[in-house]
């Protein structure tokens, strides 16, 4: 099939892991890859993906080829493989806006070119590189920058995959404009493959499916990458807490005491993420059931498999003339889509869309 031409808005750890996953598939298109849920989505293999351009504001990345940009000091995700066909994709300057507000501004020096970049220059680059899908992996809280990239993609006619919790697909007005333009929009807030939210919602669905009544729950997450550094600032993490709450409600949690979200930055953990989840429920004769689970994952590869599905779903939506916020695959891929579903229903809807 024709290649899916992808641009990355942000070249951080998740983009690095996704690019490695693509390179692994390109090296052996017929290989069975752990964590790749669907061999094909809409007929597209992961090996059909090409990363043709990227955008960033980091002086250590702008103006360099993609492979070199992923050697920047802020990258903490593991190098599993070298990039192949996409290694020389250019990293272009993005407008600075609010991308480095908060703690990230203390560890990243903005490129001079970022001060001159505009939404128009981003849209022009998307057209020049014939981009099919723009993947937004910017820091949480960068609402202005995320919106700018969505607007630029709309202008260029490129489908959007919004991996951030900033409101894009859930914005009814913006979704309507994408629909009018015939451009697909997927989001919001990527749901990692076997991550904290996936685990937490599965536990809730298990208990509710057995007829128990939920009493309380919490999900506490800590990590050491730049994502957790950024989320340590309460002004940056607010949309993440909202997004996770949306996911728990979609799983069936109603009026119970609960909290879920990032609770700390521990630098020496690097790209390792720890999740501590607790669910208390009432069962037969008023007896109590309590689940305490600890999940340890490398954070960024855990996102890569979902981005691999989302990119192919976005291109498939375009092929099928679907536009605006696309419902079918979104509940399994994102924490806070416009219309969430419990885990089992979301998985069934995605597999139906993918076939």
Q: How large a percentage of the chain has pLDDT more than 90?
A: 92
Q: Rounded to whole angstroms, what are the CA distances from 333 to 15, 190, 242, 276, 351?
A: 16, 6, 17, 22, 11
Average pLDDT estimate for 118-139: 98
Q: List pLDDT tens digits, range 198-254.
A: 999 999 999 999 999 999 999 999 999 999 999 999 999 999 999 998 888 888 877
Instruction: Spell out the SS3 assignment of 154-198.
Output: HHHCCEEEECCCCCCCCCHHHHHHHHHHCCEEECCCECCCCCHHH
Domain boundary among 253, 283, 299: 299
| 160 in Cβ contact with 168 (< 8 Å) | yes
The Cα–Cα gap between 35 and 104 comes to 30
- Tell me the pTM: 0.95
The Cα–Cα gap between 227 and 164 comes to 11
Task: Report the domain count for the chain.
Answer: 2
Phi, psi (rounded to 5 degrees) for 83:
-70, 150
Q: Please indicate, yes or no, whether residues 13 and 102 belong to a single structural domain of this protein.
A: yes
Domain limits for position 222: 196-299
Residue where the block lists tokens 């964590």? 35
The helix-helix angle for 299-319 and 13-27 (nearest 10°) equals 70
Q: List pLDDT tens digits, range 36-95.
A: 989 999 999 999 999 999 999 999 999 999 999 999 999 999 999 999 999 999 999 999
Q: Please indicate, yes or no, whether residues 334 and 283 belong to a single structural domain of this protein.
A: no
CA-based torsion, 318, 321, 324, 329: positive or negative: negative
Residue where the block lists tokens 């900033």? 166
Residue 249 has a pLDDT of: 87
Q: Please indicate, yes or no, whether residues 221 and 248 belong to a single structural domain of this protein.
A: yes
The Cα–Cα gap between 237 and 142 comes to 10
Q: Please indicate, yes or no, whether residues 178 and 95 belong to a single structural domain of this protein.
A: yes
Written as six digits, the tokens of 272 are 């390792």
Residue 251 has a pLDDT of: 86
Q: Please indicate, yes or no, whether residues 164 and 32 belong to a single structural domain of this protein.
A: yes
How many CB atoms sit inside 10 A of residue 138's CB? 27
Here the CATH number for the domain that contains residue 177 is: 3.40.50.720
How many CB atoms sit inside 10 A of residue 94's CB? 30
């Amino acid at each position: 099939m024709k290649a899916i031409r992808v641009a990355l808005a942000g070249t951080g750890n998740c983009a690095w892991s996704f690019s490695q996953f693509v390179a692994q598939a390109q090296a052996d298109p017929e290989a069975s890859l752990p964590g790749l849920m669907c061999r094909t989505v809409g007929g597209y293999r992961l090996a059909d993906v090409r990363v043709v351009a990227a955008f960033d504001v980091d002086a250590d990345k702008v103006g360099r080829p993609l492979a070199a940009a992923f050697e920047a000091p802020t990258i903490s995700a593991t190098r599993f493989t070298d990039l192949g066909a996409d290694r020389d994709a250019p990293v272009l300057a993005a407008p600075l806006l609010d991308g480095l507000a908060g703690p990230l501004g203390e560890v990243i020096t903005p490129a001079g070119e970022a001060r001159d970049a505009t939404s128009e220059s981003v849209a022009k680059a998307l057209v020049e590189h014939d981009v099919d899908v723009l993947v937004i992996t910017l820091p949480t809280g960068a609402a202005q920058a995320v919106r700018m990239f969505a607007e630029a993609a709309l202008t260029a006619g490129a489908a959007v995959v919004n991996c951030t919790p900033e409101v894009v697909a859930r914005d009814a007005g913006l979704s309507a404009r994408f629909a009018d333009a015939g451009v697909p929009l997927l989001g919001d807030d990527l749901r990692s493959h076997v991550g904290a939210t996936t685990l937490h919602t599965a536990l809730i669905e298990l208990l509710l499916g057995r007829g128990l009544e939920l009493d309380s729950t919490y999900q506490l997450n800590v990590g050491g990458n730049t994502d957790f550094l950024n989320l340590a600032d309460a002004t940056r993490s607010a949309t993440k807490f909202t997004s996770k709450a949306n996911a728990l409600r979609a799983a069936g949690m109603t009026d119970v005491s609960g909290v879920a979200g990032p609770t700390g930055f521990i630098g020496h953990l690097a790209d390792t993420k720890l999740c501590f989840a607790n669910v208390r429920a009432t069962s037969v004769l008023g007896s109590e059931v309590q689940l305490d689970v600890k999940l340890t994952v490398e954070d960024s590869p855990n996102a890569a498999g979902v981005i691999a599905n989302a990119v192919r779903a976005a291109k498939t939506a375009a092929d099928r003339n679907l536009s605006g916020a696309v419902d079918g695959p979104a509940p399994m891929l994102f924490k806070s889509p416009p219309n969430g579903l419990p885990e089992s229903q979301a998985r069934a809807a995605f597999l139906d869309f993918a076939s």
